[in-house]
């Protein structure tokens, strides 16, 4: 069997089309230009690339974009002051502080200072709680992207067994909440899970969010399963030239694609959906802040 490759780029493009339409309507019907502020502290090269992409796509959607670049030496207090200023800024409907922040800053303090109404990453305790009990609000970007890919691929997910490998606050836990909402039976696995290959082999849906290149092998996958590879691992690639790198997922694509029914590539799978979902969340928060119902076609 050779798996269908799930094209995250093309699904993200469709979503961006809907986002641009809603941004336009918010402007023409209500005089609202959705605004996203991105804060980056330090010079992590990976983060710089993500932030540049996010800011560029915000502008392309006809939305207002602000980018704040603080030096590596910025204190926690300085970041907190900036976040508070953005909380009070009426032109801003979404605040994203790019993680990781330098070690001397406690990211939990930053996250808890973000106004939950502008929490487009769905990191604050209030947003996490809303997600858990199904109240309207932003939904964690990467998990929402995974869910949209799954629904596009499989339609109704009800009754399917999903195994989520990884239990981070960023990916594993929120995707589990979303899959439960979809009536999946969900197993969460992590570094202490015993006989992980056996557990993964039970899955109709595998979500790999581990951060270990090609850890999940083809012989762990049930024939015909749908595999969503969240992992982004940057690996040295001297064969491409000095200093060059390439991206690998958490799934061994070569072997898994011989067994799975459908699989996301890395890059080109979950990554493009994550950025599009961030922009979708900004439309959602801009609507809610202004007392409007968020558009229903932006969330899965």
Q: Catalytic residue among 57, 118, 119, 121, which? A: 121
Q: In angstroms, what is the minimal distance from the CB of 90 to ligand NDP?
A: 30
29 is catalytic: no
Q: Applying CB under 6 A, does 9 fall inside the site for ligand NDP?
A: no
Which residue, judged by CB position, is nearest to ligand NDP in the bound state? 168
Q: Applying CB under 6 A, does 148 fall inside the site for ligand NDP?
A: no
ω into residue 72 within 30 of 0, thus cis?
no
Q: Applying CB under 6 A, does 166 fall inside the site for ligand NDP?
A: yes
Q: Closer CB to ligand NDP, residue 27 or residue 212?
A: 212
Q: In angstroms, what is the minimal distance from the CB of 117 to ligand NDP?
A: 23
- What is the sign of the dihedral through the CA atoms of 250, 194, 157 and 134? negative
Helix then strand count (H, E) for the chain reads: 10, 11
Task: For residues 7 and 275, give the distance between their C-alpha atoms in angstroms, rounded to a whole number.
Answer: 15
Helix (H) / strand (E) element for 165: namely strand 161-165
Task: For residues 172 and 253, give the distance between their C-alpha atoms in angstroms, rounded to a whole number.
Answer: 20
Please identify, among the stretches 106-114, 159-167, 179-187, 279-287, the one whose residues bind ligand NDP according to the rule CB under 6 A: 159-167
Q: How many residues bind ligand NDP (CB under 6 A)?
A: 25
84 is catalytic: no
Q: Applying CB under 6 A, does 165 fall inside the site for ligand NDP?
A: yes
Q: Applying CB under 6 A, does 274 fall inside the site for ligand NDP?
A: yes
Q: Closer CB to ligand NDP, residue 75 or residue 191?
A: 191
Q: Catalytic residue among 98, 119, 177, 229, which? A: 98
Q: In angstroms, what is the minimal distance from the CB of 207 to ligand NDP?
A: 10
Q: Applying CB under 6 A, does 271 fall inside the site for ligand NDP?
A: yes
Q: Are strands 185-189 and 205-208 parallel, antiparallel or unpaired?
A: unpaired
Q: In angstroms, what is the minimal distance from the CB of 218 to ligand NDP?
A: 17
What radius of gyration do the chain's Cα atoms show? 19
If you ran DSSP here, which 8-state letter would residue 294 be given?
Answer: P
C-alpha pair distances (Å), 125 with each of 25, 94, 101, 188: 31, 16, 19, 21
Q: In angstroms, what is the minimal distance from the CB of 292 to ligand NDP?
A: 28
Q: Applying CB under 6 A, does 10 fall inside the site for ligand NDP?
A: no
Q: Closer CB to ligand NDP, residue 26 or residue 256?
A: 256
Q: What is the dihedral of CA 287, 292, 297, 300, to 10 degrees?
A: 70
Task: Kindly state the tokens that stand for 114.
Answer: 């973000």
- The per-residue DSSP string of 30-99 comes to H----EEEEEEES--HHHHHHHHHHHHHHHHTT-EEEEEEE-TT--HHHHHHHHHHHHH-TT--EEEEPS
44 is catalytic: no
Among 120, 148, 210, 228, binds ligand NDP (CB under 6 A): 210
Residues 170-209 that bind ligand NDP (CB under 6 A): 170-172, 189-193, 196, 209
Catalytic residue annotation: 54, 98, 121
Query: What residues make contact with ligand NDP under the rule CB under 6 A?
Result: 142, 165-168, 170-172, 189-193, 196, 209-212, 230-233, 270-271, 274
């Amino acid at each position: 069997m050779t798996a269908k490759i799930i094209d995250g780029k093309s699904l993200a493009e469709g979503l961006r089309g809907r986002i641009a339409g809603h941004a336009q309507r918010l402007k023409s019907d209500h005089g609202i230009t959705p605004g996203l502020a991105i804060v980056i502290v330090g010079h992590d090269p990976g983060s710089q690339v993500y932030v540049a992409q996010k800011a560029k796509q915000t502008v392309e959607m006809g939305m207002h974009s602000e980018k704040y670049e603080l030096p590596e030496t910025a204190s926690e207090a300085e970041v907190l002051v900036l976040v508070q200023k953005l909380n009070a800024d009426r032109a801003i409907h979404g605040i994203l502080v790019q993680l990781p922040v330098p070690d001397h800053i406690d990211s939990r303090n930053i996250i808890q200072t973000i106004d939950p109404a502008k929490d487009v990453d769905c990191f604050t305790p209030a947003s996490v709680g809303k997600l858990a009990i199904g109240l309207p609000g932003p939904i964690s970007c990467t998990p929402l992207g995974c869910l949209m890919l799954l629904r596009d691929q499989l339609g109704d997910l009800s009754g399917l067994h999903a195994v989520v490998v990884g239990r981070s606050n960023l990916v594993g836990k929120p995707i589990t909440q979303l899959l439960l909402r979809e009536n999946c039976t969900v197993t969460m696995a992590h570094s202490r899970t015993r006989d992980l290959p056996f557990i993964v082999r039970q899955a109709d849906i595998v979500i790999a969010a581990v951060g270990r290149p090609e850890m999940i092998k083809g012989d762990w996958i049930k024939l015909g399963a749908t595999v969503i590879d969240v992992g982004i691992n940057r690996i040295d690639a001297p064969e491409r030239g000095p200093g060059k790198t390439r991206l690998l997922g958490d799934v061994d694509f070569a072997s898994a694609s011989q067994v799975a029914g459908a699989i996301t590539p890395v890059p080109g799978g979950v990554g493009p959906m994550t950025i599009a979902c961030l922009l979708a969340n900004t439309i959602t928060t801009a609507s809610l802040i202004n007392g409007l119902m968020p558009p229903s076609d932006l969330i899965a």
